[in-house]
Homo-oligomer: A and B are copies of this chain.
Amino acid sequence: MADAMSYKLNLSDLERDGDVSITQQLVDRFAAAIDAGELERGSKLPPTRELAAEAGVNHLTAARVYRKLAELGYVTAQVGRGTFVRTLAPAGSASHGDDWQVYALPPDDTSYSEQVLADTFSLANREGVISLATGWPAPSTYPTQELARIAADVFEEIGGEALSYLPAEGLFDLREQIAARGRMYGYAEDADELVITSGAQQAIALSARATLEPGDVAVIESPTFIGMMTAMRGTGARVIGVPVDEHGMDVDALERLLARHEVKLVGLQSACQNPTGSSISDERRARLAELAVERNFFIIEDRVYADMHFDGKLVRPVRELAPAHVLYVNSLSKVVGGGLRTGWVAARGPVRDRIAMLKLEADFHSPTLIQHMAARWLATGAYDRHVAGTIPFYRERRDALLAALERHLPGEYHADPPEGGHHVWVTLTRPLDERALYAEAARGGVMFTPGGAVTAERRSQTSLRLSFSLLDPDQLDEGVRRLARAIREVRRRARHSVAAPMS
């Protein structure tokens, strides 16, 4: 990493008698140097004492300069380590150029998951990269022709109404269509229970904000879906993980946690969990529902993969056993189109009203045209038939990924075949530095989701999430081949250096 002192921060011409305070002048110079890229992201700033001596100011002034830079988001202070230029570089930010170096993950754990999530969105379609990090549905499975026709019908029939405002909770017709499915599958009884959101991600984020205050304790499965974790952390809550195994969330572990903490919210994917692909057992499901009622916590039950079980099994939702305590989340993203951003949450009573109010504050409502399209597509009755059609497609890709792992990493990993969904959770038999692997894999043209980014503890040296949904069998094979090569390279380097790997 670059050393700030090697960057010539010109301090000779500070104006001691000018209108602008010395503090502000120093803040401006650092900020300008960071904006201009002269001071690299991730580089460490000199200790305040050094800056004070260099600039001829006292120690408190120097500390104030760094505090201001931190407030402005330019730097981040790490306890016991010093002050660093922020490495946060979200999807498509100007700094995401062609330089692979930017895929060095941030040293501060707080933005690790966020950075990995952002990379997923910015790298999915990047030329020359095989992204095993991207668990999006394949656009070829979407009912594009039908939606094009439906869009034309909507404009034809309702005209300018398709461009007008709606109430926050969304179009009644769409909520009715979803409630009709909800009555069949145990997740909603009435359109009034539903709030339409911009995808499951917004449903989760609003549900978390409706139920958590800063400092509250929330529990997630670990590993989990990154978006669930970042949404909960975004509320300022303390997020604790419980293990998830082939029978779903470890409810005994949750119960032990409940004895020590006042838990306000538990988040899980009860069917075809991301990333393990496992589903909750009937016994655990019943116990979890009991606990929610007894201990009075809310559950976010994310069901985005529930209809995509490869054996066609219907895993019943926790929601039907504790309807007042479960905020049931789903979307059309895996079936009709992720770019539609059409999701929903089913909830009852005051928490449903709070979610609707937060939706209003967040963005008023989700786009009107899209809601009409979704309602009409659901009204065609094509949902179940359409989903059934995609299952063999994704099952073939799952099998191709499992075969590629066996081919390129024999004896070096363990992976349970997922029951459904888009991901395989791979555990290496020997640990390695996952950040080093992330950078090395990117250099070699393959991306994956490092385990540490999807675990509550933010650390893993053995697990990776590999997604198969977007790649055909040949691409999956080539991706795993590149990944295996990167793993070998990182192991080789680790053997040649007992010092800490890449900083």
Contacts and interface: CB of A to CB of B under 8 A. Distances in A.
Interface of A: 20, 24, 27, 31, 34-35, 68, 71-74, 86, 88-94, 111, 114, 117-118, 121-122, 124, 136, 139-140, 142, 144, 147-148, 151-152, 155-156, 159-169, 192, 197-199, 201-202, 205, 214, 227, 230-231, 234, 236, 264, 294, 296, 324, 336-341, 348-354, 356-358, 360-370
Contacts of A348: 35
Nearest to A234: B361
Contact of A167 (B27, B34, B122): B122
A205 B362 contact: yes
A230 B361 contact: yes
Given A205-B362, A230-B361, A367-B341, A136 B152 contact: no
Given A94-B192, A144-B160, A361-B234, A296 B68 contact: yes
B168 A201 contact: no
B121 A363 contact: no
B68 A360 contact: no
16 contacts: A35-B349, A71-B264, A73-B354, A90-B353, A94-B192, A118-B360, A121-B165, A121-B167, A144-B163, A148-B156, A162-B339, A165-B338, A201-B363, A340-B368, A340-B369, A341-B364
B72 A363 contact: no
Nearest to A357: B90
B159 A144 contact: yes
B162 A136 contact: no
A165 B124 contact: yes
A338 B163 contact: yes
Nearest to A349: B35
A41 to B, nearest CB: 10
A77 to B, nearest CB: 14
A236 B230 CA distance: 19
A295 to B, nearest CB: 9
A194 to B, nearest CB: 11
A147 B168 contact: no
A276 B166 CA distance: 25
Given A31-B349, A139-B163, A367 B354 contact: no
A162 B338 CA distance: 10
A227 B364 CA distance: 9
Given A151-B155, A165-B124, A88 B340 contact: no
B350 A365 contact: no
Given A121-B364, A144-B160, A339 B92 contact: no
Contact of A168 (B74, B91, B156, B357): B91
A117 B354 CA distance: 14
Contact of A341 (B199, B231, B363): B363
A76 to B, nearest CB: 10
Contacts of A90: 168-169, 353-354, 356-357, 360
Contacts of A367: 198, 339-341, 366-367, 370
Contacts of A358: 234
A352 B74 CA distance: 11
Contact of A357 (B118, B136, B164): B118
A362 B201 contact: yes
B117 A360 contact: yes
A350 B152 contact: no
A252 to B, nearest CB: 19
B361 A89 contact: no
A147 to B, nearest CB: 7
Contacts of A94: 192
B360 A121 contact: yes
A350 B121 contact: no
Contacts of A227: 361, 364
A381 B324 CA distance: 51
Nearest to A362: B205
